[in-house]
């Protein structure tokens, strides 16, 4: 197979990548829009769409040049078709379709969640390869779900959040503690200096059957603790103890939920954690321990492949193209696109 161009524009990362037919990365680039959105404390959809429009065409040209290819050297185009923010999805999908149409290339509308799910199968990432079935814990600012990955297009959602995504909880608690946005990395650093036992925050869903999550009660508990110690700024020590207490609660919940997921799919020998929150050292360590206790291997792809990127989109495109699965140029981007709605490759 000739090289595949991948395009990602579903949220606040503008990304493009070129992979050869085997999945080797020839060139990749990610432009974060963090600076554009930071003043608003979160992603503003209209700003995101305009930023994708401004940067994506140049980024695509740049990765092709770095890969030493022109459009004629491509064998297909894969662009995220959903789920995500509709403006960005339209920008990326139309660019991908335009290139495919102009050069007569196959086009794949990639489900962003499937792209996260299949990342572990990139050549060389998991020793011995990531054979189906495996478990995926997808934890970021926008996603929080646990999925059984049985094959390309064959996914079962084992559970997900009932309210906030875990990264969203980190961001909201970060804001309460006076940290910038996104709050996750700063909160992890602050937590390292605090006493996790000082505040007894709740552990939502701990021990419950299944694999659902809930974080809004925990977030509210931190808000109440902050209010109790106000008004005025918290002392640095108090903020660190709250950060540590919050993170400890999240870690315990995540390990418990992962244990339940592993019990639900006894055949899975691999637990893949992806999404920005997978960068958290305490969470990774707790998941690794929970997995090891069940003879399961935890795989955390390098952070640049677990946060939003176009390598995973190109790779999902390759997996689909290998199975002869392509999409028509009439594909309409889908803001909501649950994994279960993907046509199974086996069907």
Residues near ligand KG4, by CB under 6 A: 11, 140-142, 167-168, 170-171, 182-185, 188, 275-277, 279-280, 307-308
Report the alpha-carbon distance of residue 204 to residue 212 in Å, rounded.
Answer: 10
Does 212 sit near Zn ion (CB under 5 A)?
Answer: no
Residues paired with residue 76 on neighbouring β-strands, in sequence order: 4
170 binds, among Zn ion, ligand KG4, none (CB under 5 to 8 A by kind): ligand KG4
- Residue 138 or 154 having the CB closest to ligand KG4: 138
Phi, psi (rounded to 5 degrees) for 54: -70, -35
Residues paired with residue 138 on neighbouring β-strands, in sequence order: 145, 274
Which residue in 339, 42, 307, 41 sits closest to 178, CA to CA?
41
Does 13 sit near Zn ion (CB under 5 A)?
Answer: no
Helix (H, G, I), strand (E, B) or coil at 4: strand
Cβ at position 92, least distance to Zn ion in Å: 13
Q: How far is CA 239 from the centre of its chain?
A: 28
Contact of 327 with 105, CB cutoff 8 Å: no
DSSP E strands in the chain: the ranges are 4-8, 13-19, 25-32, 76-82, 107-111, 134-139, 144-151, 154-160, 270-274, 297-299
Cβ at position 339, least distance to ligand KG4 in Å: 15
- Residue 170 or 315 having the CB closest to ligand KG4: 170
Cβ at position 27, least distance to ligand KG4 in Å: 21
Contact of 310 with 17, CB cutoff 8 Å: yes
Does 308 sit near Zn ion (CB under 5 A)?
Answer: yes
- Residue 80 or 93 having the CB closest to ligand KG4: 80
276 binds, among Zn ion, ligand KG4, none (CB under 5 to 8 A by kind): ligand KG4
Of 14-22, 24-32, 70-78, 307-315: span binding Zn ion (CB under 5 A)? 307-315
- Residue 26 or 300 having the CB closest to ligand KG4: 300
- Residue 182 or 204 having the CB closest to ligand KG4: 182
Cβ at position 169, least distance to ligand KG4 in Å: 8
Both tokens of 261, joined, read 């997921």
Report the alpha-carbon distance of residue 260 to residue 137 in Å, rounded.
Answer: 12
Cβ at position 172, least distance to ligand KG4 in Å: 9
Contact of 156 with 150, CB cutoff 8 Å: yes
Cβ at position 88, least distance to Zn ion in Å: 12
95 binds, among Zn ion, ligand KG4, none (CB under 5 to 8 A by kind): none
| Residues of this chain, 94-133, that bind Zn ion according to CB under 5 A | none
Q: Which residues are near Zn ion by CB under 5 A?
A: 308
């Amino acid at each position: 197979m000739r090289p595949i161009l991948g395009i990602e524009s579903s949220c606040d990362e503008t990304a493009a990548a070129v992979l050869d037919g085997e999945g080797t990365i020839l060139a990749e680039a990610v432009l974060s829009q963090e600076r554009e959105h930071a003043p608003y404390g979160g992603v503003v959809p209209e700003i995101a769409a305009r930023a994708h429009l401004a940067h994506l065409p140049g980024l695509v040209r740049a990765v092709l040049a770095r890969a030493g290819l022109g459009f004629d050297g491509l064998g297909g185009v894969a662009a995220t078709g959903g789920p995500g923010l509709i403006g960005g999805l339209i920008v990326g999908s139309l660019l991908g379709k335009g290139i495919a149409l102009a050069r007569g290339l196959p086009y794949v509308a990639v489900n962003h969640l499937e792209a996260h799910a299949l990342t572990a199968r990139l050549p060389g990432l998991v020793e011995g390869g990531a054979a189906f079935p495996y478990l995926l814990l997808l934890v970021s600012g926008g996603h929080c779900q646990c999925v059984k990955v049985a094959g390309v297009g064959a996914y079962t959602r084992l559970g997900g959040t009932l309210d906030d995504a875990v990264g969203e909880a980190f961001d909201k608690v970060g804001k309460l503690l006076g940290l910038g946005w996104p709050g996750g990395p700063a909160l992890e650093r602050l937590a390292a200096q605090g006493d996790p036992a000082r505040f007894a925050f709740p552990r939502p869903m701990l021990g419950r059957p299944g694999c659902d999550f809930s974080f809004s009660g925990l977030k509210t508990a931190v808000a109440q603790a902050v209010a109790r110690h106000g008004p005025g700024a918290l002392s640095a020590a108090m903020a660190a103890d709250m950060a540590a207490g919050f993170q400890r609660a999240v870690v315990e919940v995540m390990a418990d939920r992962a244990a339940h997921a592993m019990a639900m799919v006894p055949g899975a020998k691999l637990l893949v954690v992806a999404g920005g929150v997978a960068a958290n050292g305490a969470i990774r360590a707790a998941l690794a321990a929970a997995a090891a206790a069940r003879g399961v291997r935890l795989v955390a792809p390098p952070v640049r492949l677990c946060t939003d990127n176009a390598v995973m989109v190109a790779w999902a495109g390759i997996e689909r193209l290998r199975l002869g699965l392509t999409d028509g140029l009439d594909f309409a981007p889908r803001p909501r696109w649950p994994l279960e709605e993907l046509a199974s490759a086996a069907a």
